[in-house]
Amino acid sequence: MPPAGLLHVGRDEVRGYGVTITTGSVSELVKTAAGFEARLECGQRVGARKVLVATGLRDELPDITGLRQRWGTDVLHCPYCHGWEVRDKALGVLWNGPDTARFANIVRQWTSDLVLFAPDDVLAEADRPLLAARSVRVVEGGVDRVVVESDHLTGVLMRDGRTVARDALFVPPRLVPNDTLLTGLGCLTDDLGWVVVGVNGTTSIPGVWAVGNVSNPRAQVITAAGEGSAAAISINADLVDDDVREAVHEVTQVAPP
Ligand SMILES: Cc1cc2nc3c(=O)[nH]c(=O)nc-3n(C[C@H](O)[C@H](O)[C@H](O)COP(=O)(O)OP(=O)(O)OC[C@H]3O[C@@H](n4cnc5c(N)ncnc54)[C@H](O)[C@@H]3O)c2cc1C
């Protein structure tokens, strides 16, 4: 199912249960006496007793001409998401840090025609035999741009003028969480900068939950949805606890002496 179709079905389904979907970007979450207030860029403000943040992450790509335009089509990041569609094709992997050699050997499972593009002097000597043993070719030097013809990626143009023909490229991106709403509230982050969450998505701020890629870089669609389900149950239980506390308070206030 195309991703937009999945979103459409999901939104229709929750509307059927009386949920209101407001379109817009939340610029800030603020703590209030009653809970929280979401402040939207359009000026609208929405109050809530509890908040679940599921704002995902951004994939930051190397600054190479043409890469962003092909993102998700024939410039790909995840062998588990896209490998099947490009199996047995002429594939490339673009260097994006020391883990790229291992990443290349994961992509190698999908094709016997794989090129690893690496700048000069970055590939560890220890990685060369691991790549050679699996027939992964290494092309070293600077990449100028990706070559696109008739809306298809056809190769990689090196700065020295060589063009290496390829059908698709894999790039391990830098994953950046969209977590400013959470960090703005003071949610704790771990040593790698990701918001710390408990097993049901609880954050260090009572009343605030986070699920999916905003707090878990390994989440895929089904994982993010599963985390959302667990958080929903946890939020509901928390609301019930509040309601019971409130009811007990009211009863004890009005009870005859
Ligand atoms: C090219 C590509 C292909 C992929 N293929 C697969 C695949 O085949 N299978 C798979 O399981 N996963 C795949 N994934 C990963 C998958 O898309 C994510 O893991 C998943 O969507 C994470 O869900 P999420 O709800 O955490 O975040 P997202 O789906 O990213 O949703 C976050 C939402 O929050 C919104 N948002 C962000 N900030 C704000 C704000 N301030 N105010 C209001 N809204 C905000 C965003 O606009 C977005 O709609 C792919 C990812 C990419 C990039």
Domain boundaries defined on the chain? 22-58+176-254, 62-172
Helix ranges restricted to H, 29-116: 79-82, 100-107
Residue 1 confidence (pLDDT): 87
Residue 176: per-residue pLDDT: 96
pLDDT at residue 257, as a whole number: 61
Atom nearest to 212 CA in ligand 1: 26
Measured in angstroms, how far is the CA atom of residue 25 from the centroid of ligand 1?
15
Residue of the CA atom closest to atom 30 of ligand 1? 56
Q: Whose CA is nearest to atom 50 of ligand 1?
A: 81
Question: Which of 178, 185, 223 maximizes ligand 1 atoms within 8 Å of its Cβ, making it the mutation to test the pocket?
Answer: 178
pTM of the entire predicted model:
0.91
Q: Do 22-58+176-254 and 62-172 have matching folds?
A: yes
User: Would you identify the CATH topology of the domain 62-172?
Assistant: FAD/NAD(P)-binding domain (3.50.50)
64/183 Cα distance (integer angstroms): 31
Report the CATH superfamily, name and number, of domain 22-58+176-254. Answer: FAD/NAD(P)-binding domain (3.50.50.60)
Compute the distance from residue 169 Cα to the ligand 1 centre, in Å: 21
Can you tell me which atom of ligand 1 is nearest the CA of 3?
17
Distance 143 CA to ligand 1 centre (A): 29
Which residues neighbour 34 within 8 Å (Cβ) at sequence distance 6 or greater? 47, 49
Q: For each of the chain's 257 residues, which pLDDT tens digit applies? A: 899 999 999 999 999 999 999 999 999 999 999 999 999 999 999 999 999 999 999 999 999 999 999 999 999 999 999 999 999 999 999 999 989 999 999 999 999 999 999 999 999 999 999 999 999 999 999 999 999 999 999 999 999 999 999 999 999 989 999 999 999 999 999 999 999 999 999 999 999 999 999 999 999 999 999 999 999 999 999 999 999 999 999 999 866 66
CA distance 176 to 168: 24
CB atoms within 10 A of CB 109: 12
> Rounded to an integer, what distance in angstroms lies between the CA atom of residue 114 and that of residue 111?
6
Cα(158) to ligand 1 centroid in Å equals 32
Query: Quick one: tokens of 179?
Result: 């977590």
